[in-house]
Amino acid sequence: MTKNVRVRFAPSPTGPLHIGGVRTALFNYLFAKKHKGTFVLRIEDTDQTRYVEGAEKYIVDALNWCGMPFDEGPDKSEKHGPYRQSERKHLYKQYADELIASGNAYYAFDTAETLDFHRKDHEAKGKTFIYNWHNRLKLSNSLSLSAEEVKAKLDAGEDYVIRFKSPQDETLNLTDIIRGDIKIDTNILDDKVLFKSDGMPTYHLANIVDDHLMEITHVIRGEEWLPSLALHDQLYKALGWDAPEFAHLPLILKPTGKGKLSKRDGDKLGFPVFPLQWTDPKSNDISRGYKEDGYFPEAMINFLAFLGWNPGTEQEIFSLDELIDAFDLNRVNKSGARFDPDKTKWFNHHYMQEQSNNDLAELFKPIVDEKLNGIDVNYIALVIGLIKERATFVSDFWELSHFFFLAPNSYDEKASKKAFKEATKELMQELVSIINTIKDFSAENLQTKIKGWITDNEIGFGKVMMPLRLALVGALQGPDVFDIMYMIGEKESINRIEAAIATL
RNA sequence: GCUCCGUUGGUCAAAUGGCUAAGACGCCACACUUUCUAUGUGGAAUUAAGGGUUCAAUUCCCUUACGGAGUACCA
pLDDT digits (tens, 9 = 90+) for A372-386: 888 999 999 999 999
Which pLDDT band, with edges at 50, 70 and 90, does A423 fall under?
Answer: confident
Full strand arrangement of the beta sheet holding A161-164: A105-108, A161-164, A193-195
Q: Do A317 and A349 form a contact (C-beta atoms < 8 A)?
A: no
CA atoms within 13 A on the CB side of A166: 28
Can you give the distance from the CA of residue A226 to the C1' of nucleotide B4 in angstroms? Answer: 8
d(CA A251, CA A417): 53
Closest nucleotide C1' to the C-alpha of A345: B25
A263 included as an active-site residue: yes
- Please check the confidence at residue A3 and state whether its pLDDT lies above 80: no
Mean pLDDT of A4-19: 95
Q: Which of residues 400-419 of A touch strand B (CB under 7 A)?
A: none
User: Facing residues of A39 across strands?
Assistant: A7
Q: At what angle do helices A481-488 and A490-503 cross, to 10 degrees?
A: 110
Question: Of A165, A263, A388, A449, which residue is the catalytic one?
Answer: A263
Residue A85 in 3-state DSSP?
helix
Could you check: is the Cβ of residue A334 within 7 Å of any atom of nucleic acid strand B?
yes
Give the pLDDT score at A149.
94
Can you give the distance from the CA of residue A342 to the C1' of nucleotide B27 in angstroms? Answer: 12
- Please check the confidence at residue A43 and state whether its pLDDT lies above 60: yes
Could you check: is the Cβ of residue A463 within 7 Å of any atom of nucleic acid strand B?
no
Could you check: is the Cβ of residue A225 within 7 Å of any atom of nucleic acid strand B?
yes
Q: Which of residues 113-172 of A touch strand B (CB under 7 A)?
A: 115, 119, 126, 128-131, 159, 161
Q: Beta-strand (E) ranges in A78-179?
A: 105-108, 161-164, 171-176
Closest to A218 in 3D by CA, of A3, A371, A494: A3
Can you give the distance from the CA of residue A362 to the C1' of nucleotide B31 in angstroms? Answer: 36
DSSP states along A63-76: HHHHT---SBBTTB
Give the pLDDT score at A422.
82
Q: Which residue is nearest to nucleotide B26 (CA to C1')?
A: A342
C-alpha distances (whole Å) from A396 to each of A360, A387, A480 are 12, 10, 18
Give the pLDDT score at A260.
84
Give the pLDDT score at A2.
56
Can you give the distance from the CA of residue A500 to the C1' of nucleotide B32 in angstroms? Answer: 29
Closest to A65 in 3D by CA, of A309, A287, A293: A293
Could you check: is the Cβ of residue A194 within 7 Å of any atom of nucleic acid strand B?
no
C-alpha distances (whole Å) from A199 to each of A88, A122, A142 are 12, 29, 18
Could you check: is the Cβ of residue A258 within 7 Å of any atom of nucleic acid strand B?
yes
